[in-house]
Structure 1
Amino acid sequence: MEWYHQWESEYRTHKEEHELGTEELDECLNCELCHLIVNEPIVFKKFWDALFKFEDAIIIYNDVTIKGLLDLLSMDNSEREDTIHKGKCRDIMDRITESIRYRIQPKIKEKGLRTIILVIVRDCIERNLGNEVFDRLIGNPELIEHKYILEDWDVERRFEKFWQWYRITSKEVGPLRVKMGAMKTFRELLYEEEGIATNEEKVKELMSNMEYENINIENVHEYHRNMILGVLQKNQKIQKVKIVRQVMN
């Protein structure tokens, strides 16, 4: 988890201020003294036990964690999925992950923890599919390799945005339709993140899984660059555009 060391440092500083009797303290979401547990519903134990199966570095929660879970449960799943990367769900997730104390730096990335929490809320709690979830995700190769997972609905949604963008920006070649295999390649590219910039063959593979009105797949420099920029943007990596341009120019 990327923010672990910063959160841990802020927590230790905050605890020292408690010990010194500082009257005005900065907010510290993972402080158990500032956020005493008022009420612990049964559903939270189910959530915590499930989360521990995926990330055993978690050790302490507080009232912020509990309220965050209840806030997620008050949302429709469609709203959670729509805003998990930006918006209401993301804000709640950020508060939950920051409110938890960890004994060591978690193995799972922060965005991976957000996805796991969403799956637990949706499938383990609301749909009571805990065993199916554990069978599907514990030991999942993608989770082990990348420290997070891309769910099918998320990949499909990102691809739809990418496809709309690509058809507009590549009118010269006229993208027509997607072939079998495109989604699998797109998923693999999303996992590569900024590494997309150096994987021309994988981008060509994605392009070969699309039908065009007019294109020579062996002469795709300009469209290769457009494809990369599009995938990066849909993977919320817009800040990497400079790297891509350096590689492609």
Structure 2
Amino acid sequence: MTLEGASLSRLERAVCAVVGLATGGAGGVAVFVDGSNVGGVPLLIGVGALFGYLAVSGQRLSQVKVGNSEASFIGRILRDPTVSDEAKAEVAERLDEVPLPSGTQRAVNEILDARAAADAYRRQVIGAVERLAGAEITARATEDQPPRHWDLLLGSGDRIAVEITWRGRPQTPDQVTEMLQMTAAHSFEAYGLIITNQPVPGGARYEPQDELWLGVSWSSPADDVNLAAALQELLRASRAD
């Protein structure tokens, strides 16, 4: 990797420092997450180190020239199925204007396209929930103020957490159930709904003691019936308590 040209401003250095800490931090946290790929972790830390170097050296990001070895390094991150979509998007967004070899550029473009598709899907699903249970929405995520990290919170009393999840590859019902279990285990809410674009035949459910978590597929208004049924079941359960 070579660096040329103008120096970064103080603000730009600060941005690089934040990205470096975030990306490197993602790699550090991944060490403690079950199922993390041991090879993917140092890659994330390495990209964090790259941005940290830019912050310290003051070299302008647009002047970074990535060689074949660095491109391969970055490409491995963007294609590693065990690295979270959020971490991949963070890396891809910061490399959007950096000259890259064609293969790595395709990987960056794919990640950015996936992020755009996920954002569009999230808006569509929120519109569907508004049609079906708009009066029950008590909190919405915004860019600056997510409601306890959920896309939506529904109902009165015990709130129902709604997480909208876009995936670019199919998921089995068992995988969705595992998502429900993991989400429930790290949540203060007793009721929750994961809505995904991938088919979930028959839906998915997880019912630990005094809790109910459902998974349902939604891709168009044709799926409103299943989504409405899941919302109604969760609202009834939360009110019964």
> Is the pair's TM-score, using the shorter chain for normalization, greater than 0.5?
no
TM-score by length of 1: 0.29
TM-score, normalised by the number of residues in structure 2:
0.29
Structure (1 or 2) with the greater strand fraction: 2
- If asked which structure has higher relative contact order (CA below 8 Å, sep 6+), I would say 1
Greater helix proportion:
1
Highest CA radius of gyration, 1 or 2? Answer: 1
